[in-house]
Structure 1
Amino acid sequence: MILKTVEALRSQAAVWRAAGETIGLVPTMGALHDGHLSLVRTARAECDRVIVTIFVNPTQFNNPEDLKTYPRDEARDIELLSEAGVDAIFLPSVEQMYPQGFATSLKVGALAERLEGAHRPGHFDGMATVVTKLFSMSGADTAFFGEKDWQQLQIIRRFTADLNLPIRIVGCATLREEEGLAMSSRNRRLGAAARARAVAIPQTLARAARTIRQGAEVADALAQARDDLHKAGFSPIDYVAFCDAETLEPVSALNDRPARLLVAATLDGVRLIDNLAV
């Protein structure tokens, strides 16, 4: 079923909860690919009912042109989700999510200020606000997010814990194309030649992770990674970072805590992000 108002979403969720059924939530901005559908499959395996939301959230775009060009394909998205057996698709308008007079925003502090936050001011405030609203509207028991947006996942875990929100957050492994490129809606904007060169991102991450595990200096591994991406045609390269997996604070060597390599770089006008555990 397709739901377009907050009232309809809440009413349907209330029916399921009254029947003792658990609800899984998969928030998306549409332009769905198999990475999104893998979240749906995980949600269906863990929950009685699955809601997928499709909303291109304007408040998390600091670049109006990026919002304008963000891929949209609502008809195909609905077809894919129907085939996947989703119980409800929530398709709200901007007016439903941000009615006249809306004046509240969630801010997550230092965790949201580095990496993506440093290059996309306000992005995570908008993301955190809309995700919190979706949690409240759906009354879901569990929400599912991809690990490709690693920083986003850590921020969601942080504010969910900080605000004592009654929902479980599940991170799902990044799905990749056959050549290794992380699945992303933005990949649609890459031409064939750029698509072939974009594989340099996962290859560079894998090479840097391997050299760090073998004892190379982290600074040297990161410098080499930046050089490799430049040679592949990426410009600008916003960051190549080696961070604590939870706090995202930069670390200069492997230790007893999980660590993550993260990258953001632009190829032929398309900004791509990726990450890899080390």
Structure 2
Amino acid sequence: MTDDDDVTPRATMPRVQVRRIRKASEQVADQLRALIIGGDLPAGAKLPTEQGLATEFGVSRATVREALTGLSTEGLLRTVKGVNGGSFVTTPSPDRVRDALNLAVTLLSQTNGVTLDELLEVREYLEIPAARLAALRRTGDTLREMAEAIPESPLELSLGTQFVHNRDFHKAVLHASENTLLSIAAEPIFSVLQTRLSRSEIGPAFHRTINVHHRAIHAAIASGDAGESERQMREHLAWLSPKYRRIWHEFQESGI
């Protein structure tokens, strides 16, 4: 009997999900990262040599080197050359974490990994409480930082300079909240929105209104009125949201 004559019912194969086998270097990096995060390898600790790690993990030195390079890029390791050099555990700085998050949020927004509504929603959750905290924790320095970001005559400035002032004011409010995590989380979202806005056609009335809003927010924070500071920031962001939506949709339609 030939195969063609075989009338045995064929079983239907269930859908099988093929899992990608992770590279050895990724597995080594995962284990080292877990040791660092778990505190088994504290900040300042020196890792064994590449050869020592290769023996420990049962992989090649090239694999270890690739893993260490990845962890260095993440800001978890720093490499020191010389006789007493090697790979040392380090703690990522707030600026480095902020930059990494900024890049990630930017790339996600460009590929529609996050929606505009999600960005606007999270911004409200972060910047409105930040204004409240800024009123409660304000100092002379942080109030001056905010004031310096509000130009006396915004319409006399170039469009690019106006956007710099706008960015600096919101960063100053976040700084005044004295909550590093708020600043780390909020600044990248603001940066993505600002980038889209700065590439659009914005009339002078927009920046004139921005200036009025920023002065009102600054005055509320300077007075120490947490509720009013929160209200002013909420109204400011509510006014901005439809502008962002219009510009965002223009970018999508133009294919930019």
**TM-score category by the smaller chain?**
under 0.3
Q: How does the TM-score come out when normalised to structure 2? A: 0.27
Is the helix fraction higher in 1 or 2? 2
When you count strand as a share of all residues, which structure comes out higher? 1
TM-score, normalised by the number of residues in structure 1: 0.26
Q: Of the two, which has the highest radius of gyration?
A: 2
